Structure 1
Amino acid sequence: MNTTIDIQIKQTSQSKLPGTNFENLSFGQVMSDHMFVADYKNGEWQNFSIEPYAPLALNPANATLHYGQSVFEGLKAYKNENDEVLIFRADANQRRLNESAERMCIPPVPEEIFMEGLAKLLEVDRNWIPSNPGCSLYIRPFIFATDDYLGIRPSLTYKFMIFTCPVGHYYAKPVSVKVETKYTRAAEGGTGQAKAAGNYAGSLYPAQIAQKQGYDQLLWTDGKSHENIEESGTMNVMFIIEDTLITAPTSKGTILKGITRDSVLTLAKEKGLKVDERFLKVSELKEALETGKLQEAFGTGTAATIAHIYKINVGDTDFELPEKPKDAFSYQVLETLDAIKYGRIEDQHGWITKV
């Protein structure tokens, strides 16, 4: 890749690779050796470097610690049979990062800084990309405010970083979910569409309540009426009812514009499945569960890819979905996505960046 930015590289003196068990990877617990770092000050991004992964030194008055001015992304890299590094839809993640940044008054990261920093980081840490089936290298770009100042205003300085971690499956088995009708994840006019750190902090308490009741995740409903299904805690959510795929639209600003979501919708239309981007009412979901019209329910996301849902709680009632045949759409689309990501079939959508 031709570079337009000067990236200083300082490699670690002691790699963690020899002590890493790639046969037993828990999600997000083992970090790779290096990270990409850039600073924003005096109105521009500068000081580009690859350096050993290490803790940060923060002033107690750091603006992010007090006012939560931070956004992040998540994407993955894979290796194909020829040991080439493939990144899935990095350009879409770069655009979404900047959409989130705009909502949070954070300066955008230019495409060349994002892409060149990521490519150089993967070049340095390419041996961290797993070759095991079902595994990948999770990539976490993020931006946070760095002013040491107690006052309600956008920070004048920021840090953009990327680090990576080898991962296996986020969900090792199908998940159970509970429809949430008391607490709210996002409201129109809020920050629900941004991948902002605070959105996730606010969701932890109600999710913890559900987990204590035996559910893996929540199905969030709209903040006004709690009558419409929006998304799940870690993923967008989709339902197939009477051969129609139904998923919430992103136009209201309360739903994260999922990149896996968009990929699944593209593939669904190509496969001839009818797609209806609309809010599914809680009452509709319950009726479909009671009558057996709900054929499939699953989540979509970078971490989860496709997370099959086997149980849904509506009100005080648990509904267990029948086991799906292996030719069900959610299995087919997962197989197709994996085949594209690992380079087993031709990428006809321009989704793969080869490093």
Structure 2
Amino acid sequence: MSTLRVASDSFPEMDELKAILVAGGTWFERRTIGEVQVQEFKFPLITASIGSTDRNAPAVGFFGGVHGLECIGTQLVLEYMRALLRRLEWDELLREQLRTIRLIFMPIVNPGGMAARRRSNPNGVDLMRNAPQNAEGRVPFLAGGQRIGPWLPWYRGPSGAQLEVESAALLSVVEEELMSRPLSFALDCHSGFGWDDSIWFPYARTEREMAHLPEMFLLKTMFEESYPHHGYAFEPQSHQYLLHGDLWDCAYDRTRAPNIFLPMTLELGSWRWIRKNPMQMFTRMGIFNPIKAHRTRRVLRRHPSFFDFLTRAAFSSRRWLPNGDFRDQVMRRAREHWQPASAVSTS
């Protein structure tokens, strides 16, 4: 284990999560699926679920805190959980949705890293570089994932080693609660350098197209028609860069047909905050999170519309999921949109 130091067995985001689960005790089904030990402290890996118990019901998973420094992603998921509890007191439409879909939350995937306010987990491993697959092409030096050692950022872990506890826990939740269903989505909330907010989807390891490109294209199209001023860049992650060991690539490739699992990453562009407050560039937290309270509130207001959109798309999936000739037409449109020069099929 590296020289990570933490002061206690809790931190603000963990306290908020526990408070939400206490307040929502009659609604949320809480599970502790493992724990991470740092010095004498133990941090639980907690999930919360709500909605239909039918194993064939569509499901949406919301994840955050894979990188311990990116607290704003965790705060987004926690805010959405709080909003659900408030709405359940009066929102009959929400109650109707939850009779036929299931929502799964894992807001703090990397509690040891978040407690220490650092990107990696307590072993110095970048969890989003920890899956076993290698990229099919050149990756950015270091940032694409490296095995030199944990003293450098973006460390993947030793070659041939087992997954980190947190990575294995995330994949087990995804396999049990999402991939096993006929239809499921995942949204993993991050922040990082960039001017724009982005929604990325597989692949990160290759420029080849994912098998469910038509379904992803329809999601994008429906969202843009419903929220024309959303401002997201919605694209495969490979359009930005390739990387080794992406957990969502790993989960997507493990999903067995005919089940449809569509993982997405919400990347919040931190350069927006830094541009307006350049001094935060010189703080570790300021590189990845809005520091000013009013900017944090703005982020928390801006993105729940996409969370709600995913729950409604899951609820209404019979109305839009493509099949037959229509799916072939959508595939052609998707290829023209995302890969105008050429497209290499996964088949």
Q: Same fold (TM over 0.5)?
A: no
More helix by share: 2
Q: Kindly indicate which of the two structures has a greater share of residues assigned to strand.
A: 1
Which has the higher Rg, Structure 1 or Structure 2? 1
